[in-house]
Amino acid sequence: MLGAVLEDLLTHALDAVWMVDEDGTVRYMNPAAEALCGFDRSELEGQPLARILPPEVAAVHDQHMRHFAKQGPRFDVMGKVRDFSIVDADGKLIPVGLRAFEVPPQDGRRCFGAIMRDQRQQKRLEGERDRLLHRLAQQALTDELTDLPNRRAFVEELERVLAASRRSGGPASLAILDIDHFKRVNDTFGHPGGDWTLRAVAKLCRAALRGEDYMARIGGEEFAIVFRGTDLAAAQTVAERVRQKVEQTTIQLPAGGEVEVTLSIGLAAFEIDSDPDGWLAAADTALYAAKRGGRNRVATAERAAEVARTA
């Protein structure tokens, strides 16, 4: 069928080479094709190519072949390398890079050739690269100590919530939380005890939040919560639940000792002219009011404004 020189070239080719006629029948496959699919050429030559195609591809492949034979090559497909898959003798899906082209007719039938390059290693490397990039992106947005989003991630979320609330006109609220007298924890139990306490407080807060609430660590002992679609009254209810959860829990340190801490929380509602800095400043003012009011309490921005006026 093939000249001796061409036969020799194809026999030693590194890539899998196939020839298929207009009916989708395999007319030739080289040794590399045998190695790729796991079938001996005697098992596939004279058989439908559909035997090594995924079912969803096999269902339409013959139709495409007849179309090419009738209408002539589609040059937007033929000659270009594209992602493809075949099924090997063990039923496993093998990703390949496929280049299809027309070859001289055989026995009066139009024929098409295909060069397939095994892409399994490439796909594995791409998957590892994507997983690594995802981990790096997550690390860049995650606080290593508490596993909460960090300040950078928090600011991005704040901007998203602001944009969504401006579009919809819906409510949103922001809380800033600070652990009261945290320096005493570090002074008494050292930084390992302080770090354990920060992690414990983060877990307690998350346990008291709703699924849609977004919490981040934005400073040393300072956290923030964004309440999507939540007005100030509803946010205050959740913030109070968070405060009580922390107040009522005794944290057991792994090195021995117990820690009891409380939270001061400042709340501010979204306003149509809010920007991230202004919204943060309003919540921070409320937090300052909570601390001036005796700590271990929730203060809202309205109350904070009253404190500021009377200070």
Domain end marker among 91, 123, 155: 123
> Average of pLDDT values for 138-167?
91
Residue 74 lies in a domain: yes
User: Which one has a higher pLDDT value, 65 or 273?
Assistant: 273
pLDDT at 26 over 70: yes
CATH value at residue 217: 3.30.70.270
Residue 171's domain comprises: 141-310
Which residues participate in catalysis according to the annotation?
A: 221
214-248 pLDDT, tens per residue? 999 999 999 999 999 999 999 999 999 999 999 99
CA dihedral (39, 92, 85, 51) in degrees, to 10, reads 50
> How would you classify the pairing of strands 214-217 and 298-300?
unpaired
- Contact residues for 79 (Cβ-Cβ < 8 A; gap 6+): 99, 100, 101
Chain mean pLDDT for the chain = 88
Residues 94 and 188 placed together within one structural domain of the fold: no
Handedness of CA 134, 138, 140, 145 (dihedral sign): negative
Geometric angle at alpha carbon 203, from 197 and 205, rounded to 5° = 100
Give the end of a domain, one of 69, 94, 123.
123
- How large a percentage of the chain has pLDDT more than 90? 61
* Total domains in the fold of the chain: 2
Average pLDDT rounded to a whole number, residues 174-197: 96
Looking at the DSSP bridge assignments, the partners of residue 13 are none
C-alpha 154/C-alpha 214 separation (Å) is 8
Neighbours of 298 (CB within 10 A): 26
59 pLDDT above the threshold of 60: yes
Please indicate, yes or no, whether residues 87 and 49 belong to a single structural domain of this protein. Answer: yes
Res 311: pLDDT: 45
What confidence tier does 75 reach under pLDDT thresholds 50, 70, 90? very low
**C-alpha 22 chain-centroid distance:** 43
